Amino acid sequence: MDTAEKSVDLSALGIEGLRFRTARTGGRVLEVAGANKDHKADELAAKLRATIGDVARVSRPELCAEMRISGLGDAATSQAVAAQVAKVGGCPVEGVKVGIINRPPGRQGTVWVKCPVLAAKKIVAAGRFTVGWSTVRATLLEARPQRCYRCLVPGHLGVQCDCGTDRSALCFRCGQPGHKAATCVAEPSCAICVSEGVEAGHRLGHKKCPAMNRPPNKGDKKKTGGGNPGPPASSSTAAADVEAMDTAHQ
């Protein structure tokens, strides 16, 4: 951060000052307040990438939502879906993540999409839109619980994990390594429930999964790496986030 402060002139970006805090992942969050905060945060993130991008990961966090796009034709691609979601939602295509299109025999294709919340609201409100020649529909998905990328247990992040079990390379569907759930055809088997000796005939994260339904702050706190969450980001600020984010092996 010392290098960043010496190299980036905040006044030249129209920023009078920043709110500084530590994220739960251990990264540093710099929040910009005031008029045009989103644009200023984008500019600050770009400056930081140019200055310290070789030694730190600089991201521009944005509240996102997940959707399922259905009705895709045979010619549809993930890239085409991303382009149309960005167009209809009014967001940069770089902010859209699209999974592998699932095409069951005799049925139209479906795909998972993640994009900024405001874009998702516009898309769902539109009802239907086109991808190539296909008219598709977007369905908003429920928000997923916060989950550790290392042990896959919900309720804490990787930097807080002292579980001792690394499940980061396991498939969410069958619990085996070497592939992701999107391409898995094996019978469902929850890796967490298998380790706990309870009924495990379901995908990890399923609604009936005991690990997902465990009340917060219950059970072995040390085992799950539980802890008090950090302060939430203010809705009146935009952030340039310098941290390594937790990711789930889907």
Residue 51, pLDDT above cutoff 80: yes
Residue of 130, 136, 158, 155 lying closest to 144 (CA atoms)? 155
| Averaged pLDDT for residues 138-147 | 86
Q: What is the pLDDT of residue 227?
A: 39
Q: Could you tell me how many residues make up the chain?
A: 250
Overall average pLDDT of the 4-10 stretch? 84
Q: Give the pLDDT score at 135.
A: 96
Handedness of CA 136, 141, 147, 151 (dihedral sign): negative
3-state secondary structure at position 79: helix
pLDDT digits (tens, 9 = 90+) for 176-231: 999 988 889 899 999 989 988 888 999 888 878 887 776 654 334 444 343 334 43
């929040």: which residue's tokens? 31
Looking at the DSSP bridge assignments, the partners of residue 136 are 129
Question: What local confidence, expressed as pLDDT, does residue 230 receive?
Answer: 40
Answer whether residue 170 shows pLDDT above 80.
yes
Rounded CA-CA distance 47/91 in Å is 21
B/e letters for 102-123, b = 16+ CB within 10 Å, e = fewer, are beeeeeebbbbbbbbeebbebb
Containing 125, the helix (H) or strand (E) segment is helix 117-126
pTM score above 0.75? no
- Tell whether the model's pLDDT for residue 70 goes beyond 90: yes
Residue 232: is its pLDDT beyond 90?
no
Identify the band that residue 250 occupies on the pLDDT scale cut at 50, 70 and 90.
Answer: very low
pLDDT at 146 over 50: yes
